[in-house]
Structure 1
Amino acid sequence: MQRTQNLIVCEHCDSVYRRRSLARGEVADCVVCGAVLDRHQWLGVDAQFALIFAALIVFVIANVSPIVTLGLSGMKAATTLWGAVIAMWNDGAQIVAFLSAMTLFFFPLGQILIFGWVLWFARKGIRAPGFPLAMSALVRVKPWSMIEVFMLGTLVAVVKAHTYFDVVPGAGIWAFGFLTLLVTVFSSLDPRELWDLTAEAEA
């Protein structure tokens, strides 16, 4: 989407509209192609940055803490996300291990760090170095972050494993659950508004 003063240009069909203020919960759609033109932002830049910072902290906790602990005949075994990825790699499932690492670690981490980068400068009303590339990367990375899919799969696996093992949820799974909520919230935000809220830094 491109904006020129009080005009909005649809990025899909190039239709031009006059921009207006949106009420809470309102979304402006293109009448020609149905693409989202604009949406009301219910969080300010400072609140968005706080949300991203919280997501980064929870992301670290989720990746260093055990997801579940399985018990059988007095023996217990706990694993983290990376423990599961390494186990899959060693068992010959390299493709699955690679996709798990990318969609559950690298892409979500990239989304958090890039968003945090542009918001850090946006709090001062300026655009971050590499702002256009960062905004483009956010659009491309977003669909590949699949933490919510992982949470659903993990819950199903825990329920099934409970039939054969003593299953104790670890701090990691609670952190991933909270991270899923945070990711859902900041994924609903439209970073394109940062084009209007920031200006090029003076050389």
Structure 2
Amino acid sequence: MHHAQNLIICEHCDSVYQKRKLLRGQVADCTVCGAVLERHQWIGVDGQFALIVASLIVFVIANVSPIVTLKLSGMAEDTTLWGAVIAMWNDGAQIVAVLTALTLFFFPLSQLMIFAWVLWFARDGRRAPGFAEAMTALVRVKPWSMIEVFMLGTLVAVVKAHTYFDVVPGAGIWAFGFLTVLITVFSSHDARHLWDVTGDAKA
């Protein structure tokens, strides 16, 4: 069993390798298909948990604060993410509204909450209850979290809207921008290393 823990399998071509300790900035690649096998984890478990807590706080701010304020002829109108979702629903774009809510709220929130759950126990070197299921869920949820795409689309929309309105960025858009940075930093870490730094929880 101990020998098996020192092996790493490429998830793309099933090639098996002996694990080696990586130095800062190093990445292990599969020699067969070129896929990334493992990255050096430059932030410890405590640091990752702190990032997740910060991300959750910023996530709440991003969802309750106005994204932008549009001004025209002395009139001003602002909206939050959920205000935009409700407006799309009322305008008959129910499918777009549901997809927006899923990819910008429910999936990102699920990803953050699952990470917070497993990291809370990992700080003590333990595996959280339902650890295997949580790790599987992270793999399935991650591709559907599209906050980065939302930020790019919002920036394009703000630039175009500026032609017709006075556009004032709200706290929500700044929070989403900061959240994008936090998620990018956290995504640079391979969650699979949690299998190595944790052990089965004691009953």
Partner of 1:14: 14
Moved over 6 A (4+): none
| 2-structure distance, mates of 1:10, 1:159 | 43
| 2-structure distance, mates of 1:75, 1:15 | 62
Total equivalences in the alignment: 201
| 2-structure distance, mates of 1:159, 1:12 | 40
The Cα offsets for residues 81-116 of structure 1, whole Å up to 9 and x where unpaired, read as: 000000000000011111110111011111110011
Partner of 2:131: 131
Determine helix, strand or coil for the equivalent of 1:58.
helix
Partner of 1:44: 44
Partner of 2:5: 5
| 1-structure distance, mates of 2:95, 2:174 | 27
Matches for 1:44-193 after TM superposition, within 5 Å: 44-193=44-193
TM-score by length of 1: 0.96
| 1-structure distance, mates of 2:106, 2:194 | 24
| 2-structure distance, mates of 1:171, 1:16 | 48
Q: Please state how far the C-alpha of 1:14 moved relative to its aligned partner.
A: 2.7
Determine helix, strand or coil for the equivalent of 1:168.
strand
Partner of 1:201: 201
- State the one-letter code of the partner of 2:137: A
Deviates more, 1:31-40 or 1:134-143: 31-40
| 2-structure distance, mates of 1:81, 1:193 | 34
Deviates more, 1:112-121 or 1:7-16: 7-16
| 1-structure distance, mates of 2:158, 2:33 | 43
- State the one-letter code of the partner of 1:25: G
| 2-structure distance, mates of 1:138, 1:50 | 18
- State the one-letter code of the partner of 1:179: L
- State the one-letter code of the partner of 2:16: V
| 2-structure distance, mates of 1:68, 1:12 | 42
Determine helix, strand or coil for the equivalent of 1:76.
strand
The Cα offsets for residues 36-55 of structure 1, whole Å up to 9 and x where unpaired, read as: 22110010000000000000
* Stretches of structure 1 lacking an aligned partner (at least 5 in a row): none
* Stretches of structure 2 lacking an aligned partner (at least 5 in a row): none
- State the one-letter code of the partner of 2:31: V
| 2-structure distance, mates of 1:95, 1:199 | 43
- State the one-letter code of the partner of 1:31: T
